[in-house]
A = this chain, B = another copy of it.
Amino acid sequence: MEPRPGTTFTRVRYPETDRMGIAHHSHYLVWFELGRTEWMRELGAPYGELEDREAAFFPVVEVGAAYKASARYDELLSIATRLAWVERVRMRLEYRIERDGTLLATGHTVHACVDRDGRPRRIPDELLARLQAAAERAP
């Protein structure tokens, strides 16, 4: 499996499985966030630095997921992340989780940009430019 831009990988951890024998649906949100973290690192804007240096936080204001097939312990999953759109204070990311080419789940998150006190603020200019460029590139 060769890495493509916007794609990261994780294995299903034992405590992510439940008594049904499959990964619990809540962990897909954590995997979406893994995808987002790596996608922002590739973009040249590691998320931790945005919080620490720019005081720009991106809490999730909306999330959705559709589950197509189950994931099991130790399976290697790919998480593909793309930016659907970005505005001055919001953006929407979309995700696909696959195992060996089989689609397991799709999802999306909408993020607001807020300051340290949780008040809406504009996305920092340099980041906004990178995000707009990424939105144009997105398939």
Binding site for B on A (CB under 8 A): 11, 13-15, 17-22, 24-27, 29-30, 33-34, 37, 46-48, 51, 57, 59-67, 70, 72-74, 118
Contact = CB atoms under 8 A, between A and B. Distances in A.
Given A13-B33, A26-B30, A33-B15, A74 B59 contact: no
Contacts of A24: 14-15
Given A14-B37, A18-B17, A61 B70 contact: no
A33 B19 CA distance: 14
Contacts of A30: 13, 15, 26
Given A13-B33, A20-B59, A48-B74, 19 more contacts: A13-B34, A13-B37, A14-B18, A14-B24, A14-B37, A17-B19, A18-B18, A18-B19, A19-B19, A19-B22, A19-B51, A19-B72, A20-B51, A26-B33, A46-B74, A48-B73, A61-B67, A63-B63, A63-B64
State the number of copies, please: 4
A60 B18 contact: no
Nearest to A69: B118
Contacts of A15: 18, 24, 26-27, 30, 33
